[in-house]
């Protein structure tokens, strides 16, 4: 790998947000998906018109009924629904850990919306890929705090100073996420990244020292 010569000095900081699912290129529509059948006659003028079924009283069946506006009926017919079949995004982290920089420090991120599973998912990622650090955050408090989850270490919450100035009875325990309801309005005075980078730098220095002994 290109980073192998750097040894433990290499640091991979995987901060880009990647979707968990995607639509493969060969299954993508070339043009905008139409919400009505107004253009059907343009693409199927040479095809015989389909035979319409009815419900016994001369009216179209519910499956064939169409609406220009979904609000015109409380029950949207199946023929008007859009179902998207997505594939899981291939995981690449294992290749980084094993091949690109086997001695380097690899840092990944884990974003969740449910506080109850954040740390669990971060630890699961560590066990699965055997890398060095997962920085977890919640969508509702991502600008205010993150949690560092590393093998063999206690979970460490990193918070901007203004998030720690609330009433004592409203502050979380050291190992619990903040309650968004007690946070000040607006954005914090400092960016959480200004606290993340020095903390990662400190851990990277320890990583280098541990492999140089």
pLDDT, greater one: 2 or 76: 2
Rounded to 5°, angle at Cα 139 from 159 and 160:
15
97 vs 173: CA distance, rounded Å: 33
pTM: 0.74
- Of 65-69, 96-100, 191-195, give the lowest mean pLDDT range: 65-69
How does residue 91 score in pLDDT terms, banded at 50, 70 and 90? confident
* 146-153: Cβ within 8 A, 24+ apart: 146/192, 146/196, 147/118, 147/119, 147/122, 147/177, 148/199, 148/203, 149/119, 149/122, 149/123, 150/126, 150/203, 151/126
170 — phi, psi (to 5°)?
-100, -5
Q: Supply the pLDDT for residue 55.
A: 55
71 vs 156: CA distance, rounded Å: 49
177 vs 12: CA distance, rounded Å: 26
pLDDT, greater one: 87 or 45: 87
Helices (DSSP H) in 12-156: which residue ranges? Answer: 40-43, 93-95, 118-129
To which CATH superfamily is domain 4-21+90-212 assigned? CoaB-like (3.40.50.10300)
Would you kindly state where each structural domain of the chain is located, as residue ranges? 4-21+90-212, 54-86
How does residue 208 score in pLDDT terms, banded at 50, 70 and 90? very high
């Amino acid at each position: 790998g290109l980073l192998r010569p750097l040894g433990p000095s290499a640091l991979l900081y995987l901060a880009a947000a990647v979707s968990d699912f995607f639509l493969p290129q060969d299954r993508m529509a070339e043009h905008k998906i139409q919400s009505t059948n107004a253009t059907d006659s343009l693409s199927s003028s040479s095809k015989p018109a389909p035979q319409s079924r009815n419900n016994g009283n001369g009216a179209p069946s519910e499956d064939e009924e169409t609406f220009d506006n979904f609000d015109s009926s409380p029950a949207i017919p199946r023929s008007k629904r859009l179902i998207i079949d997505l594939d899981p995004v291939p995981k690449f982290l294992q290749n980084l850990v094993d091949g690109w920089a086997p001695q380097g420090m690899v840092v990944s991120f884990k974003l969740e919306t449910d506080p109850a599973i954040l740390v669990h998912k971060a630890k699961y990622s560590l066990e699965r890929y055997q890398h060095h650090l997962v920085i977890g955050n919640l969508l509702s408090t991502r600008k205010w705090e993150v949690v560092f989850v590393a093998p063999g270490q206690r979970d460490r919450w990193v918070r901007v100073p203004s998030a720690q100035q609330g009433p004592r009875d409203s502050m979380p325990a050291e190992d619990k996420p903040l309650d968004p309801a007690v946070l000040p309005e607006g954005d914090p005075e400092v960016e959480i990244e200004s606290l993340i980078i020095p903390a990662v730098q400190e851990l990277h220095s320890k990583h280098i020292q541990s492999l140089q002994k």
